[in-house]
Structure 1
Amino acid sequence: MAAPFLQYHEPGIIDILILVSFFTFLWISEYASNKIIRAGIIGPIAVGIIYGQPLANILHHDWQETFLYLGYIGLVLIIFEGGLSTRLDLLKANFGLSLIAAATGVLCPIGFSYLLLYLGFGYGAVETFIIGAALSATSLGTTFAVIAGASKSVDLSQTRVGAVLISAAVMDDVSGLVMSSVIHQLGTLSSGGDANLGWLIGRPIVASAAMAILTPVLTKWVFAPLFRSWVEHHFAKLDHLSNISLMIVVLCAFISIASFAGTSILFGAFLAGTFLTYLPSKHPSGPFVVLSREQGEREKDKSPTFVHTFELYCFDAQTYVLAPLFFASIGFAIPFLDLWSGRAIWRGAVYTLLMLVAKFLVGVCIPISSAVTRAPASGSSECAGVQEKSALSRSVRSAALPPALLLGMAMVARGEIGLLIVEIGYNNTSYVSADGFITAIWAILLNTIIGPIAVGLLVKLRGEQIAKGAWGLVPGPEPELSAGSDAALTEARMEEARK
C-alpha cells in the first residue's frame, strides 16, 4: 500500500547537474541570441530542442511536462504585464489607425496563405486557415525588447508610431488568441465529436467580444468609482501586500471567466492588466499617483503602483525562470529533424518571404494617414502651384517613410503566439498535416529572426529622426488637477528630484 505522502528522496547528482546546465544554457542562449540576432526567444527555443524530445531528450518526460505548465504561467504573466504597462491614452487616441493596421496585419497573411498554400501547394482549406491564423499574430514581447534595446536615448514605445505598433500588435494577438480558441474547439469536430459547428466557432468570438466590451464599461462606471471611494486609501497601509493580493484575485478571476466563457485565458490575462491600470485615481492626492516606487513605499498616504508591485514580486521569476521555460517548452514540441528535407526548406523559404511581405504592408498605413491628414491643408490654398504641392507631397512621404518602415518591420516577428496557434492546430486537430506544420514553423522562426534584426538596424540609423518627427514622442498624461493642486504636484516633483 502506498504511503499517503510523497516520500522524500535526495535527488541524484546527475539530475541536479542536468537541471543546472539546462537553466544556465537557457539564460546564456537568451542573452546571446538577443545580442547577435536581436531575437531573444530563439535561444531558449534552441535549448528546448536540444534538451527535449526533438534531439537529445536529456530531460525526463515528466520534467518536460512540468516545465510546459510552468512556462505557460510565464506566458500568462507576459500578457498580464503587457496589459499593466499599456498606455491607455495613446491606445485610445490612435485606435482608428491601429484598427486599420491590425486588420491589415490579420487579413493579408491569411489571404496570401490561401494564394500560396491552398492554390499553390494544395493544402486543405481549414489547414490553410489555421496556418494563416498563426502567421497573422505579432510577437509583442519581441517588439518591446527590440525597441528598448536598440535605442538607448529615445523610448520609442512612447512615440505615436510606437503606440500604433503596440496597439496593432495587441489587436493582432487578441484576434490570434480568439482564433486559437476556435482552432482548439475544431479539434472536437476533427476527432468525431458530436458538436455544433456554428456554436464552436461563434462561442469564442462572442465571448471575446463580450469581455472586450463589458470590461471597460464596468471598470469605468462600477469598479473604478467603488475602488477609488472605498478601497484605494486603505492600500497605503500594506503597500505591496495589498497590491499583490488584488492582482492575484483579479488575474485569476479574469482567466477563469475567459476559460469558462470559451475564449482564450491569455486574452483574459491582458484584460486583467488593463483593468488594474484603470482602477486607481489619477488625482495628485490619490495614493497611487507617485513619482517612484520608493515614494510609494516611504510615504504613509501613498502606495506603490501595480506595475511597481509586479516588478518586485514577479519580474525576476518571469524573466529568468518562467518565460525562458515557456520558450523552451515550444522547443520541446518542434520536430527539428523534419525541418531539414529539401522540400521543407524551399517551401518554408518561399512562405517566409510571402509572410514577410504580408506583415510589412501594415507600414503603408503611416504614409496614407499622413497624406490624408495633410491633404486638406494643401488643397485649401487656391494660389498653391503645382510645384509647391508636389514638393509638399514629397516632404510628407519622406517624413513618413522611416516610421512606416519601423511599423512594417516591427510587425514581422511572429514569436510565441504564432508558435502557440500552429502547435494547437497540429496537436489538437487532424486538419494540419506534418508538411503544413513544418512549413509554418519555418516561416514563424525565420520571420521572428528577420523582423527584429531589421528593426534594430532601422532604430539605430533613424531612431532620433523618428522620435523628433510627426510620429515621434508624445508626452505622458498629466494627473487630473483641481484648483491649487498643480502647485502641490510641482512641489512634490521638485522634492523628489532633490532626493
Structure 2
Amino acid sequence: MPSQFTYHDPAIKDLLVLSSYLYLLSVFEWIAQYVLSAGLLGQILLGIIYGSPLAEWLDVQWQETFVVVGYVGLLLIVFEGGMTTSLPTLTALLPLSTGIAVTGLLVPIGFSFLLTPMFGFPLLHSFAAGAALSSTSLGTVLALISSSGLSLDLQQTKLGTALLGAAVMDDAVAFVLSEIINLLGESDNSASSTLGAHIGRTIGVTFGLGIVAMPVTRWIIRPLYLKYTRSIYRQKAGQSGMLLMMAIVFIGMTAGARYAGTSPLYGVYVGGLVISYLMQTEAAVHSDMIQQDVGDVSIDTAERISASREIQGRPLPSGRLRRVHTHPTPVPMDRLSSRPEDTPPPRTPEKYETRPTFLSTFEHYISPVLIYLLLPLFFGSIGYSIPFIPLWRGKVIWKGIIYTMFMLFGKALTGIWILFWPIEGKRKVSWGQTMKLRLPAALLLGFAMIARGEIGLLISQIAYTTTEQQLTEEEFLITTWAIVLCTILGPVGVGYVIKKFKVDVVRGGWH
C-alpha cells in the first residue's frame, strides 16, 4: 500500500459528469418547486437519473461519498431546527407532539397487517413493511417548513414546533424499529435472544440522552457559557468562537448518540436545543445588562443636565429623578445647556449591537453551503436507493398503489389532533367555526407527516437484505412503491396547502 495518495488530473468525463450533476441539482429543484411546490422531488429525480437506478453516470464510490456528505447536510438542518425551536413552546406542546407521533406510528403499522389477508404477506413481513412506513422523513419535514415561502417562519409557530417534535419522535422510534428488523433477520439465534436487551438499551439511551442533557446544560454548560460571554474573549473571538462551540456540540452529540445506541438525528436535535437554551439565556442576560447600562447612562445624563441648569440659574423640573429604562446614549457636552426634550432619541450601546449570536453565525457560515450543496446532495442521494426499473411490474404497481392509499391515510390522520387540541387563551367560538379555522393547519401537518424518504428506504432495505429476509423481492418492491409515492405526494400536498391558504395555515391559535 502506498504511503500517500497519488495526485493526478481528473478525467474530463468525470469533471463533466460531476459539474453537470451539481448544477442540475439546482435546476431540477427550481423546476419542481415551480411546478409542484416541492423542489426536493426534482433533486430525488436527478439522483435516480444520474445514479445506479438508471444511467449510472455517477461511480458507485461517488454515490457512497455523496450519501455521507448529504447525511451531514441532514444532520445540520436538524441541528438548525433544534436551534430555532422555542423551548417554552416545545415544552407546552410536548403532549400534542407525542399524540401526533404515536398516531403516525401505530396507525400505519396497524394498517400494514392488512397485507396478510390482502396480498399473503406473512405477519412478520407485514410488521417489517409497517415499520418502514411508520417513519417520517425528518429531513423532508424541515426542508418543507424552512422553504415555505411564507412571510412567517413556520418553525417558530406552534404548528411547526408540534410538527417538528412529532417528526423527531418518529425518527427515534424508527431507529429502534430498524434495530429490531436487523436483529430479527439474523440467522444466529443468539442475536434474537438479545433482542429485548437491544431494544431496552436503545429506548433507555434515547430517553436518557434528553434527560441528562437538561441538568448538564443548566448547571455546567450554562454557567461556563455566561462566564465566557462576560469575558473579553467573547468579543475577540466573535463568530469564530461561536462556530467552534457549535461544532463541538454538533460533533459531540452526533458521536455520543450513535455510539450510545440511538439515532444521531435525535442527538443533534437535542444539541440544537442546548444551543437554543444558551441563546435564550444570553438574550435575557444581555437585556439585563443593557437595562443596567442604560439606567446608569440616563441618571448620569440627567445629573449633568441638572447641574448645567443650576449653573445657568434656571429652575429644575419638579418631581423625583426617575431611572429611565429606554435606550439612550450620553448627551454631548455641547448640548448640556439644551432642554431635556431637545436631547436626541436614545439607542442601544454599540458594544451590544455588534455581538454575534449562534444563529447569526450559523446563517453566515453554514447556511449557504447547506442550502446550495449539502441538502441537494442529500435529496439526490435518496434517488440512488430507489430500484426504479424493477418497480414497473404490473402486479407490483397495483398492489403498491393500494398499499400507498392506506399509508397516506395513516399519516394524514395525525392532523385530527390539530382540530381538537385545546388552545389556551382563545375565545370561545362554535365547533363548526373552529373546524373551519383549524382545517388548513390540520391539512399541513397531515401532509408534512406523510413523506417517508430516507428512513423508510433504510428500514425496507434492511428487511430485504438481512440473512433471514423479512421482505421478499416482490414485498420489498410493493413497500418501496408506498415509500416513493408517499415521499412524492406529501411534499406536493404541503406545497398546495401553503399556496392556497398562505398565512392562514396557522389560524385558529397555531401561530
Q: TM over 0.5, yes or no?
A: yes
Match of 2:437 in 1: 399
SS in 1 for 2:430: helix
2:456 is matched by which residue type in structure 1?
G
The answer to whether the 8 A contact 2:451-2:489 is kept is yes
Match of 1:351 in 2: 403
Q: Distance in 2 between matches of 1:256 and 1:147?
A: 27
CA 1:289–1:348 in structure 2 vs 1: closer, same or farther (change >3 Å)?
farther
Q: How many Å apart are 1:347 and its aligned residue? A: 1.2
The count of corresponding residues between Structure 1 and Structure 2 is 450
1:212 is matched by which residue type in structure 2?
G
Q: Distance in 2 between matches of 1:56 and 1:30?
A: 19
The answer to whether the 8 A contact 1:38-1:449 is kept is no
Match of 1:158 in 2: 156
TM-score normalized by the length of structure 1: 0.81
Match of 2:307 in 1: none
- Percent of paired sites with the same residue: 40
2:324 corresponds to 1:286: no
1:7 is matched by which residue type in structure 2?
T
2:475 corresponds to 1:436: yes
The answer to whether the 8 A contact 1:71-1:325 is kept is yes
Q: How many Å apart are 1:156 and its aligned residue? A: 3.7
Match of 2:509 in 1: 471
The answer to whether the 8 A contact 2:150-2:503 is kept is no
SS in 1 for 2:508: coil
1:89-488 correspondence runs (5 A): 89-115=88-114, 117-147=115-145, 149-186=147-184, 189-190=186-187, 194=191, 196-230=194-228, 233=231, 234-280=233-279, 281-286=281-286, 299=351, 303-370=355-422, 392-428=430-466, 430-467=469-506, 469-473=507-511
Q: Distance in 2 between matches of 1:289 and 1:352?
A: 57
2:86 corresponds to 1:87: yes
Q: Distance in 1 between matches of 2:90 and 2:177?
A: 23
2:46 is matched by which residue type in structure 1?
V
SS in 2 for 1:5: coil
The answer to whether the 8 A contact 2:175-2:263 is kept is yes
Structure 1 residues 330-379: Cα deviation after superposition (integer angstroms, max 9, x where no partner): 22222111110011111111111111111111111123224x9899x98x
Q: Distance in 2 between matches of 1:48 and 1:288?
A: 51
Q: How many Å apart are 1:271 and its aligned residue? A: 1.5
Match of 2:326 in 1: none
CA 1:418–1:81 in structure 2 vs 1: closer, same or farther (change >3 Å)?
farther
The answer to whether the 8 A contact 1:208-1:263 is kept is yes
The answer to whether the 8 A contact 1:154-1:463 is kept is no
SS in 2 for 1:138: coil
Q: Distance in 2 between matches of 1:228 and 1:435?
A: 58
**Which deviates the most, 236-245 or 117-126?**
117-126
Q: Distance in 2 between matches of 1:442 and 1:253?
A: 37
Q: Distance in 1 between matches of 2:276 and 2:425?
A: 35
Structure 1 residues 261-302: Cα deviation after superposition (integer angstroms, max 9, x where no partner): 111222212222112221242444439999xxxxx9x84785
CA 1:432–1:224 in structure 2 vs 1: closer, same or farther (change >3 Å)?
farther
The answer to whether the 8 A contact 2:181-2:470 is kept is no
Q: Distance in 1 between matches of 2:374 and 2:143?
A: 17
CA 1:277–1:185 in structure 2 vs 1: closer, same or farther (change >3 Å)?
farther
CA 1:190–1:341 in structure 2 vs 1: closer, same or farther (change >3 Å)?
same
Q: Distance in 2 between matches of 1:89 and 1:184?
A: 37
CA 1:299–1:138 in structure 2 vs 1: closer, same or farther (change >3 Å)?
farther
**Unaligned stretches of 5+ residues in structure 1:** 291-295, 379-390, 474-499
The answer to whether the 8 A contact 2:74-2:139 is kept is no
1:273 is matched by which residue type in structure 2?
G
TM-score normalized by the length of structure 2: 0.79
CA 1:288–1:10 in structure 2 vs 1: closer, same or farther (change >3 Å)?
farther
The answer to whether the 8 A contact 1:81-1:273 is kept is yes
Q: How many Å apart are 1:324 and its aligned residue? A: 2.1
Q: Distance in 2 between matches of 1:149 and 1:76?
A: 17
Q: How many Å apart are 1:192 and its aligned residue? A: 6.4
Structure 1 residues 96-143: Cα deviation after superposition (integer angstroms, max 9, x where no partner): 12211111111111111112x233222233333332222222234433
Q: Distance in 2 between matches of 1:300 and 1:150?
A: 32
Q: Distance in 2 between matches of 1:47 and 1:80?
A: 26
1:345 is matched by which residue type in structure 2?
I
Match of 2:66 in 1: 67
The answer to whether the 8 A contact 2:43-2:380 is kept is yes
The answer to whether the 8 A contact 2:150-2:502 is kept is no
SS in 2 for 1:41: helix
**Which deviates the most, 398-407 or 228-237?**
228-237
CA 1:433–1:312 in structure 2 vs 1: closer, same or farther (change >3 Å)?
farther
Q: How many Å apart are 1:412 and its aligned residue? A: 1.8
1:286 is matched by which residue type in structure 2?
H
CA 1:229–1:157 in structure 2 vs 1: closer, same or farther (change >3 Å)?
same
The answer to whether the 8 A contact 1:403-1:471 is kept is no
Match of 1:37 in 2: 36
Q: How many Å apart are 1:157 and its aligned residue? A: 3.5
2:237 is matched by which residue type in structure 1?
L
2:278 is matched by which residue type in structure 1?
L
CA 1:22–1:399 in structure 2 vs 1: closer, same or farther (change >3 Å)?
closer
**Unaligned stretches of 5+ residues in structure 2:** 291-347
Match of 2:334 in 1: none
Match of 2:51 in 1: 52
Q: Distance in 2 between matches of 1:253 and 1:428?
A: 31
